[in-house]
Each structure stands twice: as structure tokens, then as C-alpha cells.
Amino acid sequence: IKTIGVLTSGGDAPGMNAAIRAVVRTGIYNNLRVMGIKRGYAGLLQKEIMEMDVTSVGETIQRGGTILQTARCPEFVTLEGQKQAAEICHEMGIDAVVVIGGDGSYKGARALSHQGIAVVGIPGTIDLDIACTEYTIGFDTAVNTAMEAIDKVRDTSSSHERCSIIEVMGRNAGYIALWCGIANGAEDILLPEKFDGDEQRIIDNIIANRKKGKQHHIIINAEGIGDSNGMAKRIEAATGIETRATILGYMQRGGSPTCKDRVFASTMGALAVDLLVQGKINRIIAYKDGEYINLDIDEALEMQKNISEYQYKISRILAK
Ligand code: ADP
């Protein structure tokens, strides 16, 4: 392997720049040429590719988002698109591509590997919803951003003795909601993995808490459940307690990455290049049981994970 490409794909996440920077600088350290591919697979198909050097990633480690930009690319899901992408890689002399993104992006990477281009995947998503790993780039920043925002909503919620529903991101997974629920001491946490739609239970809980003298009632709702405004209206009608919904939205995806995201992303970026240098291809970098590991891409894509039952259980106990 002489030349590697690097791209970010799917949703952006804080820390992606630290990963790109590590890929570029570790690549150059190992005498490889490194090509930056803009806008994920879309940019690859459009040949938006430029050579990167150590200075092209300067001043980026502290920046949110991704300097390479990202996109979703339906064209690349077709075999024709994948063949064309591989041809472009051959034409540009790219032997391997480091893909920073989520499960969808890994499926794309696997498709590219079937066309003869070596790939390594790095987990990049704020949602933590990649089965093979306990860490994904951006989650730590996102939960810290959400946690701080929820603290602020709580201040006003307590002052006005309101009920607050705060909707956090996470797509179909409840990791952000669960972590914020624990970190913010939320009275209720609604996770797509757990919530059966029983709003009466929430209403009973609000009334019971009010009787106990709690001044506020914070409900963290996950994006995968949604309908926070509708829920607020129904809860207010049933309890007579003023209830407001706050949807945190994209603020959770932006901002300067935390120390953890910078260090993990830097390590994973360097590891991706180390694997390629060792001739280990078509692997996914992951973090499990306190260690950085790498898995075969097929094996990684077959894995399943779920939120921690124990964490969910204690989140209920601690909110009493
Ligand atoms: P994420 O990587 O965050 O899961 P997406 O699911 O949106 O994000 O996937 C990002 C991109 O990866 C898609 O726009 C598409 O180009 C590519 N991709 C997703 N699924 C596949 C697939 N089954 N085969 C090939 N490419 C795919």
C-alpha cells in the first residue's frame, strides 16, 4: 500500500477532525501518500479528491464537524456506483480507504472492498449505535453538550415548577438519552429500546412526584420515540401541570470535541494506518473492555448490541 484515501460519511461528529488528522500524519510518517476525499462516497464519485500534507490538518484538532465534509450518497448503494468508485480509486492510485462513519458507511466500505479496494473503518457517530464498539467518536462531546443544556432547562423548570420533556438525539438508539438521563438525574427516561408507549405510567409518576414535593419533573425523550410536543400537550391536559417540550436538535452534533473524543479519535486514526501498514485490510477499529481492537468488517457488521440493562435499572432507582 502506497497511497491511502480518507473520508467521513454519514452524520458528522465532533472528533472526526482529530481522526482525519491522525490518519494524515500517521500516513505521512509511514511514507504513504494521503488523499482527502470530500463529502464521503458522494465526493469519491465526483472525484473531489486532494492530496493532504501535515499542514493541511493543522488547526483542526479543536474543531467540530469534519473538514472533509460528509454526505449521504444513494448512488453509492448501487453496484454500478461501487464499481465506478473503485475505478476512480485505481485511477487516482488510491490502494486503501479509511472510512470514518457509522454502520451505513461500513456497508459502503465493505462494498468497496468487494471491488478490490482495501478499507479500514473507524467508528464515527454521536449516537453510539455501532454494535462492535463501546466507544464512537463524538458521543462524549454530544452527551456533555446535551447534559449542560438539560441542566439549564432544569433551572427554569424548577423555578416555574414545570414538567419538562427534553428530546435528545440518537436516531433509533437510546444511548444519549440513557447517559443524559443518569447524568442529569431525570425523573423519566424514554428509550426506543424500552418505551412501550404507556404515557399513563409517566403521568402517574409526575403526580406521585409532585405529591412528594419535587419541584420539577424532567423527562428525557429519545429522538427514536419523538413526538415530544404532542406528549407535552397530553401530559399537561392529564396532570394540570404546565409541561414544555425542548428539542435539543443539531446543537448536540456540533462544537469543539472533548478531550476524550480528541484522544480516542487520534488513537483510532493512527491505528487505522498502522493496520494498513501491517497489511491488515478490511477491518473495523473498535474499543472494547478497555482496549482498542480490530475486527473483520463482515464480523463487525453482523454484531448486535443493546443498552445496558444494569444502567437502565439503576437510572430508575436513582431517580426516585
Ligand atoms: P452512517 O454511516 O452514519 O450509518 P448512513 O447510514 O447514512 O450513515 O450511510 C452513509 C452512506 O454510506 C450512505 O449514504 C451510502 O452512500 C453508504 N451506504 C449505506 N448503506 C450502504 C449499503 N448497504 N451499501 C453500500 N453503501 C451504503
How much is the pLDDT for 73? 95
Q: Which of 12, 127, 129, 261 is catalytic?
A: 127
54-113, pLDDT tens digit by residue? 999 999 999 999 999 999 999 999 999 999 999 999 999 999 999 999 999 999 999 999
Ligand 1 atom index nearest CA of 127: 3
Q: If we measure between CA atoms, which residue out of 140, 203, 164, 185 comes closest to residue 315?
A: 185
Q: At what angle do helices 259-277 and 16-29 cross, to 10 degrees?
A: 40
How much is the pLDDT for 320? 81
How much is the pLDDT for 155? 92
Q: Residue 158 C-alpha to ligand 1 middle, in angstroms?
A: 42
For ligand 1, say whether the CB of 72 is within 6 Å of any of its atoms.
yes
pTM of model > 0.95: yes
C-alpha span between 65 and 253 (Å, rounded): 8
How much is the pLDDT for 254? 97
- Show the low-confidence residues of the chain (pLDDT under 50): none
127 has catalytic annotation: yes
ipTM of the complex: 0.96
Binding residues for Mg(2+): 103
Probe residue for ligand 1, chosen from 107, 112, 136 as the CB with the greatest number of ligand atoms within 8 Å: 107
Cα three-residue angle 263-221-160, rounded to 5 degrees: 105
167-190, pLDDT tens digit by residue? 999 999 999 999 999 999 999 999
How much is the pLDDT for 215? 85
How many other CB atoms are there within 10 angstroms of residue 320's CB atom?
Answer: 9
